[in-house]
Amino acid sequence: MKFKIINPDWGMTEEQMEQRCRILADYTNRRIQLSMECLAKTKVSLDSLADLVRAGPEILQMAIQAEQEGYDAVILYCFSDPVMEACRQAVSIPVVGAGQAACLLLPAVAYHGALLVADQNRIPEKRMSLSRTGLASERICGYEPVHARGLDPIEHRGQLKKELLKAGQRALEHTEAQALILGCLSFLGLAEELSAGLMVPVIDPGPASVCLAETLVCMHLRSSPRAYPPYPHF
């Protein structure tokens, strides 16, 4: 079983992507081969709706190529699940959005959860986009910004963890959250330590996305052609 992880941030090095795959592999079945690829032509990191629109065509093309190369599933490695539905039209293998995968795990461990987000200014946009995940909206009871701009999850691990702990603490104090969801893929690999510190489940969207892809492949589930009708020109 091999999964293509599409990272919609331009300019990541091979080594950075391999590091992320190694962390993800710890949370999943050893039979699965993970391969990450980032934007090569569209020079954006996904930090706004405009970035998302600009990156869309390249992401779609990467998904189509992954299917042609024999991958069993495509994972969109961004909490905004960029162009997820369009990818489901374009390919017949499962397409998993990391944000959706994380949100759909919440009710398995708690009633209510809060989202820790990388950018305070984008909270209203996040709230809107959550309706796309299929999670009942009342299950998300708060959004807490993490002051972590520019912090790399591997290089600045200690500082990032400190900021996430503070944000998690604030969410647990000020909302009815019983669990936390890491609302950005840059927070990779810190959920377990945060959970031990904060005494609530912390859902990491990276591992959640790989596990959901494995579930779909094991159960032979593919996107519904009634929901995502294939376009003839793909």
* Size, binding site for a second copy by CB under 8 A: 53
Sheet holding 33-38, edge to edge: 33-38, 2-7, 73-76, 95-97
- The DSSP output letter for 231 is P
Question: Is 227 a binder of a second copy (CB under 8 A)?
Answer: yes
Q: Which is nearer to a second copy, 38 or 201 (CB)?
A: 201
The CB-of-110 to a second copy minimum distance in angstroms stands at 4
| Binders of a second copy in range 121-180 (CB under 8 A) | 131, 133-137, 139, 172, 177-179
Q: Distance (Å, rounded) from C-alpha 232 to C-alpha 234? A: 6
Residues from 11 through 40 that contact a second copy (CB under 8 A): 27-29
HSE value, Cβ hemisphere, 13 Å, CA-based, for 29: 14
CA–CA dist 103, 99 (Å, integer): 6
Category of 40 on φ-ψ map: left (φ > 0), alpha (ψ -120 to 50) or beta? alpha
Cβ atoms of residues 202 and 208 within 8 Å: no
186 binds a second copy (CB under 8 A): no
Q: Does 2 bind a second copy (CB under 8 A)?
A: no
- Does position 58 bind a second copy by CB under 8 A? no
Q: Say whether residue 182 binds a second copy (CB under 8 A).
A: no
Contact region with a second copy (CB under 8 A), list: 33-41, 43-51, 162-170, 198-206: 198-206
The distance of closest approach from Cβ of residue 95 to a second copy in the complex, given in angstroms and rounded to an integer, is 9
Residue 106 φ/ψ, nearest 5 degrees: -50, -50
Considering only residues 72 to 131 of the shown chain, the ones binding a second copy according to CB under 8 A are 94, 96, 100-101, 104-112, 131
Q: Are 20 and 36 in contact (CB under 8 A)?
A: yes
Between vectors from CA 175 to CA 171 and to CA 176, what angle results, nearest 5°? 120
215 binding a second copy? (CB under 8 A): yes
Interaction site with a second copy (CB under 8 A): 27-29, 94, 96, 100-101, 104-112, 131, 133-137, 139, 172, 177-179, 191-192, 195, 199-201, 203-204, 207-208, 211-212, 214-216, 218-228
